[in-house]
Amino acid sequence: MISGTSVSPGIAFGKALLLEEKKILINSEKIATSSIKQEINRFISGRTETSRQLKEIKNKIKKQLDSKKEAIFEGHIILLEDEELEQDIITLIKEELFSADAAVYSVIETQAKALEKLEDEYLKERATDVRDIGNRLLKNILGIPIIDLNTITEEVIIIAVDLSPSETAQLNLKKVLGFITDVGGKTSHTSIMARSLELPAIVGTGVITKKVSNGDFIILDALNNKIYINPTPKIIKNINILKEKYISEKYELTKFTHLPAITLDEHQVRVCANIGDTIHDIIRAKENGAEGIGLYRTEFLFMNRNTLPTEEEQFQAYKKAAESMINQAVIIRIMDIGGDKNLPYMHLPNEENPFLGWRAIRIMLDRKDILHTQLRAILRASFFGKLRIMYPMIISVEEIKTLNIELNLLKKQLRKEGKKFDENIKVGIMIETPASAIIAHHLIKEVDFFSIGTNDLTQYTLAVDRGNKLISHLYNPISPSILILIKQVIEAAHSEGKWTAMCGEMAGDERTTLLLLGMGLDEFSMSSVSIPRIKKIIRNSYYHDAKKIAEKALNYPTTESIMHLLMQNKQ
Torsion angle, alpha carbons of 71, 76, 81, 83, to 10: 100
> Is 333 annotated in some ligand binding site?
yes
> Which of 168, 141, 158, 159 is closest to 57 using CA atoms?
168
* Helix, strand, coil percentages, rounded to 5, for the chain: 55, 15, 35
- CA gap 17, 216 in Å, rounded: 8
SS3 for 503? coil
Q: Contact 308/370 with Cβ under 8 angstroms?
A: yes
Find the range with the poorest average confidence among 242-246, 336-340, 505-509: 336-340
The single residue of 189, 267, 272, 280 carrying the catalytic annotation is 189
* Residue 496 predicted with pLDDT over 90: yes
* Residue 131 predicted with pLDDT over 60: yes
Domains of the chain (ranges; CATH) run 5-21+148-233 (3.50.30.10), 33-142 (1.10.274.10), 254-568 (3.20.20.60)
Amino acid at 171: L
* Residue 236 predicted with pLDDT over 90: yes
pLDDT tens digits for range 72-95: 677 778 888 888 889 999 999 999
Output b/e per residue, 191-227; b: 16+ Cβ within 10 A.
Answer: bbbbbbbebbbbbbbeebbeebeeebebbbbbbeebb
The single residue of 441, 494, 503, 544 carrying the catalytic annotation is 503
E-state strands within 319-409? 329-333, 386-391
Give mean pLDDT, residues 317-325. 93
pLDDT of residue 65: 46
Amino acid at 434: P
pLDDT of residue 519: 98
SS3 for 478? coil
pLDDT tens digits for range 332-345: 999 987 655 567 67
Amino acid at 114: A
pLDDT of residue 304: 62
Q: Residues with Cβ < 8 Å from 251, sequence gap 6 or more?
A: none
> Which of 379, 383, 404, 380 is closest to 394 using CA atoms?
404
Q: Confirm whether 272 is a catalytic residue.
A: no
Q: Confirm whether 280 is a catalytic residue.
A: no
Chain-centre distance for alpha carbon 383? 28
- CA gap 467, 449 in Å, rounded: 30
pLDDT of residue 66: 55
- CA gap 269, 538 in Å, rounded: 9
Q: ∠ CA(275), CA(276), CA(280), 5° rounding? A: 80
pLDDT tens digits for range 36-77: 999 999 999 999 999 998 888 778 766 654 555 666 677 778
- Other CB atoms within 10 A of residue 553 CB: 23
Strand partners, 5: 203
The percent of residues above 70 in pLDDT, for the chain, comes to 89
pLDDT tens digits for range 133-173: 898 899 899 888 776 676 677 899 999 888 876 677 667 77
pLDDT of residue 275: 87
pLDDT tens digits for range 536-553: 999 999 999 999 999 999
- CA gap 261, 272 in Å, rounded: 10
> Is 466 annotated in some ligand binding site?
yes
> Is 281 annotated in some ligand binding site?
no
Give mean pLDDT, residues 108-117. 83
* Residue 108 predicted with pLDDT over 70: yes
pLDDT tens digits for range 368-417: 999 999 999 999 999 999 999 999 999 999 999 999 999 999 999 999 99
- CA gap 99, 28 in Å, rounded: 7
Q: Contact 214/20 with Cβ under 8 angstroms?
A: no
Chain-centre distance for alpha carbon 54? 23
> Is 131 annotated in some ligand binding site?
no
> Is 66 annotated in some ligand binding site?
no
> Is 376 annotated in some ligand binding site?
no
Chain-centre distance for alpha carbon 532? 19
